[in-house]
Structure 1
Amino acid sequence: MNPEQPLRIVIVDDHPLFRHGVTTLFSTMPDLEVVGEAANGEEAVALAEALKPDVMLMDIRMPGISGIETTRRITTASPSVKVLILTMFEDDASVFTAMRSGAKGYVLKEADKDELLRAIRAVANGEAIFSPGIASRMIEYFAMTRPAASEEAFPELSSREREVLYLMTDGISNADIAGKLEISGKTVANYITNILNKLQVADRQEAVRLAKESRLNY
């Protein structure tokens, strides 16, 4: 990043009025320049590759691929691009999954102008940044007794959900998982639905890939 040049920003959000509002705000900041806008994940990935912005402001819930998966793809393909999550969702599952996907910060849309600008500049400088309430919860989480290795990988999952995910990495069917855990196939299906929702992935294959990358054990 050249300190003499404005930070190059791409805004990723499916609401055009929100994108317009943020662009208007940044137009008054001499050290910030909006170089692109994306309404969905596919557009965001393409812009990241084409423009190589300093920071991408990323919503979580969008049509098509989620902001979480979009972030994962961008940080894998274009590691120099910093992603700052800007969303209305502050649940632990969204926060932990976003950070694991490669996001460098997590700010709520209710943040005021100064907080958002500080977050953008901090992320561009390689710092991790969170909205105050989220930061407090993360500090509390990491201050607790260190969890088991399987819990470290996916703290948003319950013990049984981690167990099901671990068995999924073996490539076995729902029926075989049900047999191993002595539960019904319907219960297994419900657990898998919960896992996909909490990890914010589209399908079983994505969940398994995440588990293997995190070296999930149980």
Structure 2
Amino acid sequence: MEDTTPSGRPVRVLVADDEAMVRAGIRAILARDPHVEVVAEAGDGHEALALTRRHRPDVVLLDIQMPGLDGLTAVARLRREPTTAGVIMLTTFGLDEYITRALEEGADGFLLKADDPRELLNGVRAVGAGGAYLSPRVAARVIAGIRAHRSAHPHRSLDRLTQRERDVLAGLAAGLSNAEIATRLHLVEGTVKAHVSAVLTKLGARNRVEAAIAAHEAGLAG
């Protein structure tokens, strides 16, 4: 997995949590990786939006329960702004409704505060490189939910995808970045980016996570 952004510079991170001690702990974990740089901290959702506009981070780590403006509302507002920042929800509460809404609002990742600290680093690296990331425990809940509701919620058809687009979708389902998919398929990164856009359009998916879920629904992912 890549340790930097596609441009080769460190992954710039904004940490938003209303508890100062939690922010300090996150900063300490991220400081273990020399390719990750915390550029700002926010204590609520409003401040997170303002600092995102000011610092233009690659990744925004958002706690869900914050005063003033919660993380779920904040990610929805970020997705209406001209920012390319990836968003990871980081929370104590792994409730299914939180996970579902976060992904629907456009989050690129979801981690639990009780996860192994290595998952935080893995998530920041993946999203910073243009990918998506769910911690294993969150991914298990998402997949279990998909299987439980498959009959009631028919999956998106992949019939419109070309074989190459299916190959790219399989890479998305594996949580790979565009660069990693390009390496796997022996393509240039720009071509992969075009294929990803086509896949999202054809599936009616708003982001890479929704596309990955569609791949799981259709049995394309292992």
TM-score normalised by structure 1 residue count: 0.64
In the alignment, is residue 75 of structure 1 matched against residue 79 of structure 2? yes
Q: 1:43 to 1:140 in 2, by over 3 A?
A: same
Q: 1:68 to 1:30 in 2, by over 3 A?
A: same
Looking at structure 2, the residues matched to 52 and 108 of structure 1 have their Cα atoms a distance apart, in angstroms, of 24
- 1:2 is displaced (CA, Å) by 4.5
Q: 1:24 to 1:50 in 2, by over 3 A?
A: same
Aligned residue identity for 1:14:
D
Gaps of 5+ in 1: 153-218
In the alignment, is residue 64 of structure 1 matched against residue 68 of structure 2? yes
Equivalent residue, structure 2, for 1:40: 44
Residue among 2, 8, 30 paired with 1:4: 8
Looking at structure 1, the residues matched to 75 and 48 of structure 2 have their Cα atoms a distance apart, in angstroms, of 9
Equivalent residue, structure 1, for 2:33: 29
Write the mapping of 1:94-113 to structure 2, written as runs, cut at 5 A: 94-113=98-117
Q: Is the 8 A contact 2:23 2:41 kept in 1?
A: yes
Looking at structure 2, the residues matched to 134 and 85 of structure 1 have their Cα atoms a distance apart, in angstroms, of 11
- 1:93 is displaced (CA, Å) by 0.5
- 1:74 is displaced (CA, Å) by 1.2
TM-score normalised by structure 2 residue count: 0.63
| Secondary structure, aligned partner of 2:66 | coil
Equivalent residue, structure 1, for 2:92: 88
In the alignment of these two chains, the number of paired residues is 150
Q: Is the 8 A contact 2:29 2:121 kept in 1?
A: no
Equivalent residue, structure 2, for 1:115: 119
Q: Structure 1 vs Structure 2: percent identity of aligned residues?
A: 35
Looking at structure 2, the residues matched to 30 and 85 of structure 1 have their Cα atoms a distance apart, in angstroms, of 22
Equivalent residue, structure 1, for 2:193: none
- 1:3 is displaced (CA, Å) by 4.2
Larger Rg: 1
Looking at structure 1, the residues matched to 153 and 9 of structure 2 have their Cα atoms a distance apart, in angstroms, of 45
| Secondary structure, aligned partner of 1:30 | coil
Looking at structure 2, the residues matched to 132 and 28 of structure 1 have their Cα atoms a distance apart, in angstroms, of 21
Residue among 53, 56, 73 paired with 1:52: 56
Equivalent residue, structure 1, for 2:23: 19
Looking at structure 2, the residues matched to 59 and 30 of structure 1 have their Cα atoms a distance apart, in angstroms, of 24
The structure showing larger relative contact order (alpha-carbon pairs under 8 Å, at least 6 residues apart) is 2
| Deviation larger for 138-147 or 57-66 | 138-147
Aligned residue identity for 2:86:
K
Give every structure 1 segment of 4 or more consecutive aligned residues whose post-TM-superposition deviation is greater than 6 Å.
Answer: none
- 1:53 is displaced (CA, Å) by 0.3
Looking at structure 2, the residues matched to 83 and 104 of structure 1 have their Cα atoms a distance apart, in angstroms, of 5
| Secondary structure, aligned partner of 1:69 | helix
Q: Cα RMSD between the aligned structures?
A: 1.8
Q: Is the 8 A contact 1:55 1:84 kept in 2?
A: yes
Aligned residue identity for 1:84:
I
Residue among 140, 152, 155 paired with 1:147: 152
Q: Deviations 1:3-43 (Å, cap 9, x if unpaired)?
A: 43110000000000111122123223210101000000110
| Secondary structure, aligned partner of 2:61 | strand
| Secondary structure, aligned partner of 1:90 | coil
Looking at structure 1, the residues matched to 82 and 51 of structure 2 have their Cα atoms a distance apart, in angstroms, of 10
Looking at structure 2, the residues matched to 86 and 9 of structure 1 have their Cα atoms a distance apart, in angstroms, of 13
Gaps of 5+ in 2: 157-222
| Secondary structure, aligned partner of 2:13 | strand
